[in-house]
């Protein structure tokens, strides 16, 4: 039911866990995330095929632990999983909307951010959950509606701090919470925190893996 309090738990790197009314939704349990990142999930969303967002073993563990669990993702990932879990893997793209385990989800975005012009640009989608929490995957996608909580890809091979700050300014969320941060040393986090907090124009929060907050 949209509008209820959501408990958000930060997992390592780009993975987050959302819980509401006894149901659990997990986004991007990738290769840098905990091995049990998808366990207990009723719904699993995957933004794109890169290993730090999509790890087949972690997804299989979650799907096998809960025979009712289902995955929503783009075609490049769905094609790798559909045979193993017939009827439980759903392909989505930009503009799609669906409801799963009581969560309302809207799909935004089409392409991964450019890493380098010499590398092919793969597909990537972001997910707006309950009209509140937006996880963009590896892109600076701006949904066409207000966002309360932006999961902010703070450090990646495809971005720099000025772009991260401008992304927060463009989305204009109530709060931004860091994701995509495993490559960023703790020693340097204060630099990022200061710039994003001072210049982003939104509340900025950093959660350690395992930390949770109510939204």
Contact at 8 Å (CB) between 207 and 187? no
The model's pLDDT over 78-117, given as tens digits with 9 standing for 90+, comes to 999 999 999 999 999 999 999 999 999 999 999 999 999 9
Q: Which pLDDT band, with edges at 50, 70 and 90, does 207 fall under?
A: very high
**What mean pLDDT value characterizes the chain?**
96
> Exposed, middle or buried: residue 129 (CB in 10 Å: 0-12, 13-18, 19+)?
buried
| Residue 61: strand, helix, or coil | helix
Instruction: State pTM to two decimals.
Output: 0.96
Q: Please state the separation of Cα 38 from the chain's center in Å.
A: 13
Q: What mean pLDDT comes out for the span 130-141?
A: 98
Query: In CATH, what is the architecture of 8-206?
Result: 4-Layer Sandwich (3.60)
The number of CA neighbours under 13 Å toward the Cβ of 87 is 2
Q: What mean pLDDT comes out for the span 54-67?
A: 97
> For residue 140, is pLDDT > 80?
yes
Q: What mean pLDDT comes out for the span 155-175?
A: 97
| Residue 10: strand, helix, or coil | strand
> For residue 3, is pLDDT > 80?
no
Q: Which pLDDT band, with edges at 50, 70 and 90, does 4 fall under?
A: confident
Q: What mean pLDDT comes out for the span 18-37?
A: 98
Q: What mean pLDDT comes out for the span 26-42?
A: 98
Q: What mean pLDDT comes out for the span 56-66?
A: 97
| Residue 39: strand, helix, or coil | coil
> For residue 145, is pLDDT > 80?
yes
Are β-strands 70-73 and 43-46 bridged in parallel, bridged antiparallel, or unpaired?
Answer: parallel
Contact at 8 Å (CB) between 206 and 178? yes
Residue 114: closest CA among 142, 140, 79: 140
């Amino acid at each position: 039911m949209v509008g209820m309090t959501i408990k958000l738990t930060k997992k390592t790197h780009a993975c987050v866990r959302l819980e509401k009314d006894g149901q659990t939704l997990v986004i991007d349990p990738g290769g840098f995330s905990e091995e049990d990142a998808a366990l207990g999930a009723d719904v699993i969303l995957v933004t794109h095929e890169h290993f730090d967002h999509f790890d087949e073993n972690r997804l299989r563990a979650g799907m096998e632990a809960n025979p009712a669990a289902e995955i929503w993702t783009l075609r490049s990932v769905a094609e790798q999983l559909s045979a193993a879990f017939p009827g439980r893997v759903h392909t989505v793209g930009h503009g799609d909307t669906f409801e799963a385990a009581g969560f309302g989800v809207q799909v935004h975005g089409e392409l991964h951010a450019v890493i380098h012009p010499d590398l092919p640009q793969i597909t990537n989608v972001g997910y707006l959950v309950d009209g509140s929490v937006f996880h963009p995957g590896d892109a600076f996608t701006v949904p066409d509606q207000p966002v309360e909580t932006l999961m902010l890809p703070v450090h990646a091979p495809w971005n720099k701090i000025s772009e991260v700050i401008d992304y927060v300014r463009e989305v204009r969320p109530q709060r931004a919470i860091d994701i995509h941060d495993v490559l960023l040393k703790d020693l340097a986090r204060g630099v990022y925190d200061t710039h994003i907090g001072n210049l982003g124009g939104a509340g900025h929060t950093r959660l350690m893996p395992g930390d949770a907050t109510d939204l």
